[in-house]
Amino acid sequence: MSILVVGSVAFDSVQTPFGKADEVLGGSASYFSLAASFFAQVRLVAVVGDDFPEDHLQLFRDFSIDIRGLQQSQGETFRWKGEYGYALNEARTLDTRLNVFESFSPRIPELYRKSDCVFLGNIDPVLQAGVLSQVDKPRFVACDTMNFWIESKPDELRETLQRVDILIINDAEVRMLTGEHNLTRAARRIAEWGPKTLVVKKGEYGVAMYHGGSIFGAPAFPLEEVFDPTGAGDSFAGGLVGYLARSGTLNDESLRQAVIYGSVMASFNVEDFSLNRLRTLKTSDIRRRFRQFKELTHFEAGNSL
């Protein structure tokens, strides 16, 4: 099945305790697209400036990502600069220049409008709703958002969520969105608004999924070296949505496997700066780490009480 992704393509400058990278390819749609491309056909809608180099465009093509929806406007591409401390849980933003992204109004090409699945990156919820008005009955819609939109446009976000099947956000955003400290109660409230599946990203503490009456949790993969967590959440979403598109189902079993595949892609992403690790990844690497995740979380019941 095909996946339509709408989000940002950017240049990032990142510093962590383990190194730095300047003016490297980033943006939510970039990370999502590369991660999802291992599982399904990806159609990318975003905007870049006339400073966007051909080799970045070729990278997308090399991963069979359809970039006919990538708009190129006069001006500079969106830029973000940030740094991480040793905890690596949250970036400190040093500079944000929206540039051409500031006036981005997604135009969905006609050939994308019958995409099977839609992923809405964390852009303005008004723009997210505009995307949904341009597509023709996708099998499911997944959505990301962020604290800025939760605080500045709560009503518009709630309206958009009525048309969303899967919401993928972090634990702080869940609590901010619902006003509930308890994630289980928060998940029940979000389900009443629209999304029947809530996936809660908890960084180094893993992920939790709420679907109907089912709750599923998975740890983060234990890595010896983590260089850069930028894009980990978007890579997670790419693996999750990509696997669901590949499986063609949204039942509890496929959702649980999708969470693990999302965790697999995020774990690879953090092993290097920018998209460097994803661009060298092989399908065999993904399969191997999926099996390692299964071993990590498996146990026998033994003698019961």
* Mean pLDDT (10-residue bins), the chain, 305 residues: 96 93 96 98 98 97 97 96 85 93 95 96 96 96 94 95 96 94 94 95 92 92 89 96 95 96 96 96 97 88 72
120 bridge partner residues: 6, 143
Query: What does the radius of gyration of the chain's CA atoms come to, in whole angstroms?
Result: 18
Give the span between the Cα atoms of 33 and 14, in whole angstroms. Answer: 20
* CA neighbor of 142 nearest in space, from 115, 110, 180: 115
**Domains located in the chain, CATH noted:** 2-297 (3.40.1190.20)
pLDDT at 39: 98
pLDDT at 175: 95
pLDDT at 13: 97
Q: Categorise residue 23: left if φ over 0, alpha if ψ from -120 to 50, beta otherwise.
A: left
Q: Tokens 């955003």 — which residue?
A: 173
pLDDT at 237: 98
pLDDT at 297: 84
Structure-token pair, residue 57: 């465009």
pLDDT at 83: 94
